[in-house]
Structure 1
Amino acid sequence: MTPTATSRRRPRRPAWADRNYSLLTASAFVTNLGSQGALIAAAFAVLDAGGDGGDVGLVAAARTLPLVLFLLVGGAVADRLPRHRVMVAANALNCLSQAAFAALVLAGEPQLWQMMLLTALGGTGQAFFSPAAEGMLLSSVEGEQAGRAFAMFRMAMQGAALGGAALGGALVAVAGPGWVLAADAAAFAVAGALRAFLDVSHIPPRAPGGGLLADLREGWQEFIGRPWLWGIVVQFSIANAVVGAADAVYGPLVARDHLGGPGPWGLALGFFGAGTVVGALLMTRWKPRRLLLAGTLCVFPLALPSAALAVPVPVWALCTVMLVTGVTLEVFGVSWMTALHQEIPEHKLSRVSAYDWFGSVALMPPAMALAGPAEGTFGRTNALWGCSALVVVVTAAVLCVPDVRDLRRRTKRVSGGEPEAENGSADAERSVGGLG
């Protein structure tokens, strides 16, 4: 049969790009577009109000502290309640807190405690949102193309980060941080509306359990029983803490003193976003058989941005470093999501994700709060070199875990027992660069 003009104009979507996947991708794009600019805006709102590096660190820590306190509860809740409802409620809280933050900044000089309180409310919403969102995404994709689906999702998300960081930095310089925070509040409202239409009918009803503590205990047993899982989470617990402190505290200060202000720093973050888009595009084609070995080797360049800020290098060199780091870190990100998808049972996804997130952010509040005092004690340059060194050390250490080196890509995800081994098809064998 000859295809009609309508069918030629409307190409069929891939089998894995169903309604839920499309809604999740669109909402993540909108959220990241606003949030990346808001991160820059929050730092410069503190500086414009007369704060210093220590105050920037306190506001950043105020956001991550609720993540540590509520993530595990958020994971248990997301495995008990419909995940999309948890996501929408969290988005509503983020929208309200950012709108209030924007109003305070636009109205005059906000107080430090006000900015910390509103940022903490946003972090609380994130604590409930993240496990629900990751569980929802991982449960929405099946089959051999899961890795490609995750890569496409992350490419859309990181593409938004690219635009959001560059645009956010420019808007902070032109219009001020208050309007960027207001735009972020609007983005949360739009994303929450999209997520309200997610369909959870494909997820089997949860059997009645023994309560919240029993759910947390079951998630912990799933987490601690997999050395590759807790090993990498410990690695990123340290790496995220020092990199987060460098980006949230030292980055804006170096930009102010040596690079020309928020515009160049936003540009550098935009290049990082561009790198993640390129990395995600690479992962739509590359399927390394040893997922975690390939991903972990690509974490070493995460030490480069802190070293570049320590020098400090010119803006063009910093942008190049951020681009390379974004590419390699995205290889890890897609590999990590694929490993979780194939190894963790669906009904435990949000709880395991919560332990993952908990470990990844647990050290960020003290690291950010101590970034200012560390600068005063050791100097900004030495503190940044220390951040870079710690990333290298913990990444080398996790390669000593056999499961990290040996975990193979599989064709089917786990359902309750063991996942099936890779079938050796030509598509599954395809790799690039020898890491697979």
Structure 2
Amino acid sequence: MPRLNMLAIWVVAFVSLFCYQRVGQVREAVFLAEAMETIGDESLVEVSRQQLFDAAMHGMTSELDRFSRFIPRDESERFRQQLDNHFPGIGIRIRIRKDEETEKIELVVEDTVIGTPQPAHDAGLRSGDRLVAVNGRRLATSATAGDDEIPPEDATKFITGPAGTDVTLTVERDGELLDFAVTRQEIEVDSILGDTRNGAGEWIYRLAGDPRIGYIRIDSFSDNTLPQLRLALDQLAKGDEMQALLLDLRDNPGGYLRAAVELCDLFIDADQTDINLDRRIVSTRDRFGKDHEVHRARNGDVLPGVPIVVLVNGQSASASEIFAACLQDYGRAVVCGSRTFGKGSVQKVVPLERGRSLLKITTNTFWRPSDQQIHKMDDATDEDAWGVRPDDGFAVELSEDEEERRRDERRARDVAQHEQPATFDPEIFDPQLQRAVDHLVEQLEKKPR
């Protein structure tokens, strides 16, 4: 057989093998396309191809972990805006609450944004209000919504909207139904908050009860967190010397991994500690247990010798846990409060449909410098290693009612601008804060004068 013919046969065989392998990889996609076409052509119920695509994506991601999901076209822009702490809306956080006995679903106002602007708060909405209706349309109280009801998971779609437009929320408060008309605005959420405000509404980053102690709340980890924290530290460097620092991460849901690494790097000087952790801040590992990324400390400690306490609770998650775990492992800070949430997983956001929709999928887990996993797996028990526990002697557990009271008192102080700060006794309203303050005062008393 001529050599040229033999070469042609080999080429055809190779291409055939390659195509066979490719078909094997995508055959499910072919079957899915066939199913969508059949449903679109023959179903008694008329549905669009977009509806079928969205349903298929929701179905696939429902087989994954609880943090993976498909973000359809009408939600993708809002998702991006919330990650950036900048979005049009009314400045409100909502929590879905389910009664285990009656299985009744409620949407409760968890928090209102305090800052400039703060439309929901200015209109009179408060934490604990139960949402009943949006623009007169009732919210469903079960997983199956009626024809004229808004499904609980879709509530934010109806509440948010273009800046300058109005929305009316009906809430139940103390057994009474109240209507609040709110004008939507461009909401800019601060990442870094202080203890009180001055007459101009600017944050003061020192404890009102003891100005020797700096007090910084890290509300989220976004692109503006590091520059805002640097500004806060610059303010603390002015005037009388700050001698101790309290970093409050309670109720911080997390944010960008990059922001958490940057903040850890501010306070860690791996060369000045006896604890050898290979300069690790955090590592991410895939499902096979292999390191995907390792982030290491580079810069020195910006506050050498200053005692630090990090406050956490059960709602401190993700990037908050990375930060608290890193400072704890290096012995740079004492962690006080209650055990964190245990959300130590990395979500990758993949654009679909040319960027009009998004696929958020969990790809890795976070591991702290001491080589312990942060993520709480589905079968994990309380005895297993996950999340961040307070240091010995610094666990201060609060009941749900005590947590709500603490948040309410904190909120009252946040809005006390252009006037004297609201009266606040941490021993009564915030035992976790009081424990942290007591420790820092003890440390200051030990210092030579």
TM-score (norm 2): 0.28
User: Does 1 or 2 have the higher relative contact order (CA < 8 Å, sep 6+)?
Assistant: 1
Q: Which has the higher helix share?
A: 1
Which protein has the bigger strand share?
2
**What TM-score do you get using the length of structure 1 for normalisation?**
0.28
In our comparison, the structure showing a higher alpha carbon Rg is 2
